[in-house]
């Protein structure tokens, strides 16, 4: 999710937050409401829609003052709180809530550039935090953890995720040989207990692949817990993975089970595994060897039954070679490798993805579209799509939201796609930075950043080091271009 996009989906100009709730599972009888405090109307609508679709009762507020009134009136024990509110500091609001009801579980939401605020919030008693951009799985998983329930898997796009074991052959849209191999591999490995290591560029669907493995396994009725090792500060990651006991450090006001214990009986998905700190890699290796977890501050370990699926957008063996990833952990995890191919290597799969996305988003937005003009599909097949499937979904969502319907033509494509349209997939051996003369500095900047990302397999931290930029700056630039890393 980011400042203009729904979880796991794409940027969109959201309707007024007072719009009718999205149809979904009936609220659980007797369930206490969730309180969402978010001042951006479009984000408020999107977050509420996702939560209601998952069966939650949601109360919303746009300011700190309104949020405190709702908090006192509703009896909510789970609060989603944006730290940037127009009338008061979110941390002050959280402290007041915890003073009134210490059992309240607050999930704070912050921007990538404000990660230190998230750390401060955790130390002040927050139950969890979400750093934009985050996806629907992480969002619902955090809410389910806070509510003490089994996490709800994100509602799958049509044909994108296999939700039943017998549907394993229809895991992803696309009939290219590369995707058929991935589908066959998932079908073969889903029923086993083997650890799966998924590689691929950002936006290729690594988490969807992990979800499909979980859905096709005997553990499908158990929890699916996703943890992004690159999005959590290293000083909080051990607590996020293994949990902590009340009083084990400043701000630990209650016991927290951690992702490994929460996934007991199900699947633990560790995304961006190569970003994990070396000290925690040692503890993860011990966990894999013993199947026990020991929360921070605990005296005795606890046995858990968890299947591990991990992923990275880097070359894991290169990380081993550079001393950034333990070799023994690599061999322990790299049992069944699955590589998610980039969209540029999948032929006309982009056409199938675009058509399915157009149908889905039009239905969600109540619009009627008549497919794509041939020249649009031809352009889609020639583009490099550095953001892969995620970027395609962003583009289609933009089209659906900003146009009433009809056939999609070239003039309906978002402006962010125009620089990409001017530089389609280069021929083998071609210099991706050719043709700079005559372009604006903004276009050249984007070309250099995208070429650097492509050269480093989509790794934002690695590209940031090469470009001498902070990762948060690079994330913001990608977000402004409609590319979710």
Contacts of 162 (CB under 8 A, 6+ apart): 168, 169, 170, 171, 186, 212, 215, 216
The answer to whether 306 and 266 are in contact (CB under 8 A) is yes
Rounded to 5 degrees, what are φ and ψ at 417? Answer: -85, -15
The answer to whether 285 and 253 are in contact (CB under 8 A) is no
Give the pLDDT confidence score for residue 399 in this predicted structure.
93
Separation between Cα atoms, residue 98 and residue 35, nearest integer Å: 14
The answer to whether 47 and 59 are in contact (CB under 8 A) is no
Give the pLDDT confidence score for residue 41 in this predicted structure.
82
Give the pLDDT confidence score for residue 81 in this predicted structure.
93
Give the pLDDT confidence score for residue 459 in this predicted structure.
80
How many residues appear in the chain? 485
Give the pLDDT confidence score for residue 408 in this predicted structure.
95
The residue among 153, 107, 155, 150 whose CA lies nearest residue 127 is 107
The answer to whether 308 and 263 are in contact (CB under 8 A) is no
Q: Which tokens sit at 136?
A: 């629907």
Separation between Cα atoms, residue 428 and residue 421, nearest integer Å: 18
- Mean pLDDT by runs of 10 across the 485 residues of the chain is 41 35 44 85 84 88 91 89 87 87 87 63 78 78 71 33 32 80 90 91 88 88 85 74 72 73 90 88 88 79 90 89 91 91 91 91 89 94 89 91 92 76 48 58 79 78 78 75 67
Residue ranges of domains in the chain, CATH in brackets: 34-135 (3.40.50.2300), 165-341 (3.40.50.300), 347-418 (1.10.8.60), 426-485 (1.10.10.60)
Contacts of 197 (CB under 8 A, 6+ apart): 310, 311, 312, 316, 333, 334, 335, 336, 337, 338
Give the pLDDT confidence score for residue 40 in this predicted structure.
83
Give the pLDDT confidence score for residue 484 in this predicted structure.
61
Separation between Cα atoms, residue 465 and residue 467, nearest integer Å: 6
The answer to whether 76 and 61 are in contact (CB under 8 A) is no
Helix (H, G, I), strand (E, B) or coil at 111: strand
Give the pLDDT confidence score for residue 351 in this predicted structure.
93
- Beta-sheet strands, E only, within 139-294: 196-199, 224-228, 267-271, 292-293
Separation between Cα atoms, residue 437 and residue 340, nearest integer Å: 35
Number of H helices, E strands in the chain: 19, 14
- Find where tokens 């605990």 sit: 298
- Find where tokens 């007041």 sit: 96
Give the pLDDT confidence score for residue 61 in this predicted structure.
93
């Amino acid at each position: 999710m980011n400042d203009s996009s729904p979880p796991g989906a794409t940027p969109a100009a959201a309707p007024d937050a007072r719009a009718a709730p999205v149809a979904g599972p009936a609220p659980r009888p007797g369930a206490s409401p969730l309180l969402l405090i978010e001042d951006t109307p479009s984000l408020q609508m999107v977050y509420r829609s996702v939560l209601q679709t998952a069966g939650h009762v949601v109360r919303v507020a746009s300011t700190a003052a309104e949020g405190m009134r709702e908090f006192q009136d509703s009896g909510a024990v789970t609060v989603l709180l944006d730290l940037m509110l127009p009338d008061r500091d979110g941390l002050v609001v959280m402290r007041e809530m915890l003073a009134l009801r210490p059992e309240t579980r607050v999930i704070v939401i912050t921007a990538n550039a404000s990660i230190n605020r998230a750390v401060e919030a955790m130390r002040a008693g927050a139950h969890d935090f979400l750093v934009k951009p985050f996806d629907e799985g992480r969002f619902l998983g955090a809410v389910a953890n806070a509510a003490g329930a089994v996490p709800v898997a994100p509602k799958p796009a049509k044909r994108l995720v296999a939700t039943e074991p017998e549907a394993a052959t229809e895991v992803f849209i696309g009939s290219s040989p590369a995707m058929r191999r991935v589908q066959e591999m998932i079908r073969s490995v889903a029923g086993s207990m083997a650890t799966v290591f998924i590689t691929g560029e950002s936006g290729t669907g690594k988490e969807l692949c992990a979800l499909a493995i979980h859905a096709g396994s005997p553990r499908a009725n158990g929890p699916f817990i996703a943890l992004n090792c690159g999005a959590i500060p290293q000083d909080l990651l051990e607590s996020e993975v293994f949990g902590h006991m009340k009083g084990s450090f400043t701000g630990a006001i209650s016991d927290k089970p951690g992702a490994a214990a929460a996934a007991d009986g199900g699947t633990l998905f560790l995304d961006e595994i190569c970003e994990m700190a070396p000290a925690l890699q040692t503890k993860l290796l011990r966990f894999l060897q013993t199947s026990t977890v020991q929360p921070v501050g605990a005296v005795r370990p606890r046995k858990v039954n968890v299947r591990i699926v991990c992923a990275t957008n880097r070359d894991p063996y290169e990380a081993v070679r550079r001393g950034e990833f333990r070799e023994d952990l690599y061999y322990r995890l790299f049992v069944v490798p699955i590589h998610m191919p980039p969209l540029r290597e999948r032929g006309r799969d982009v056409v199938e993805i675009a058509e399915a996305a157009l149908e889905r988003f039009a239905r969600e937005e109540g619009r009627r579209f008549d497919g794509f003009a041939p020249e649009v599909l031809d352009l889609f097949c020639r583009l490099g799509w550095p953001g892969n499937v995620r970027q395609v979904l962003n583009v289609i969502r933009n089209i659906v939201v900003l146009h009433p319907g009809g056939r999609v033509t070239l003039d309906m494509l978002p402006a962010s796609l125009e620089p990409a349209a001017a530089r389609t997939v280069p021929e083998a051996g071609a210099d991706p930075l050719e043709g700079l003369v005559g372009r604006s500095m903004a276009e050249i900047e984007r070309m250099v950043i995208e070429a650097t990302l492509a050269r480093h397999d989509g790794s934002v931290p690695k590209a940031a080091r090469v470009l001498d930029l902070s990762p948060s700056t690079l994330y913001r630039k990608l977000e402004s271009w409609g590319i979710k890393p």
